[in-house]
Amino acid sequence: MNNRRSGIPFFVTCLLVMFVLPMAYAGEDRKCEKCRQSLDGKVLKQLQLAIEYQDALEASDSQIEKIRELKIRLKKDLIQRKAAIDLIGVDIKSKLWADDIDRKDINELIDRKYELKKAKAKSVVEAWIELKDILKDEQEEKLKDIMHHGRRMQYKCY
């Protein structure tokens, strides 16, 4: 009887280890997901950091003004494209709920949605290239260092 009582705490401990340990590791994975930003987020972050650290980059007033204009233009473009993509997504869902599903219409909407996504990605890459054209090589390297240092400090991902 005494052996049975001492086995219960051992069994409970084993169950806790089996269920708590995997959740602890899963939490670590989620923290590191923050490091994996979308391309949109990375470019916008670079633009913002270039503005914030203009003194460290030794950027001229005209460079900063161009970067601000680029950031605003990109942000507006991303908002408009995301809205259009979301609206098409709603149209697709509404067509799927119809009694008579028209495959041709749905396929056209899907094609249009992914054309917009492709155009969005291309505009982000274009903004990134434009930022590289605005900055000098030395400034670009400093901005990379600033981004790398900020990412390590913010998310503690190594």
**pLDDT (mean) for 12-17:** 67
Any idea which of 4-18, 22-36, 94-108 has the lowest mean pLDDT? 22-36
Q: Cite the beta strand spans of the chain per DSSP E.
A: none
pLDDT per position as a tens digit, 109-152: 999 999 999 999 999 999 999 999 999 999 999 998 888 876 54
- 11 alpha-carbon distance from chain centroid: 43
pLDDT at 16: 63
Q: What is the DSSP letter of 136?
A: -
pLDDT per position as a tens digit, 39-76: 899 999 999 999 999 999 999 999 999 999 999 999 99
Q: What is the DSSP letter of 19?
A: H
pLDDT at 9: 73
Rounded distance between C-alpha atoms, residue 118 and residue 73, angstroms: 18
Rounded distance between C-alpha atoms, residue 84 and residue 81, angstroms: 5
Rounded to two decimals, what is the model's pTM?
0.69
Burial class (CB in 10 A: 0-12, 13-18, 19+), 150: middle
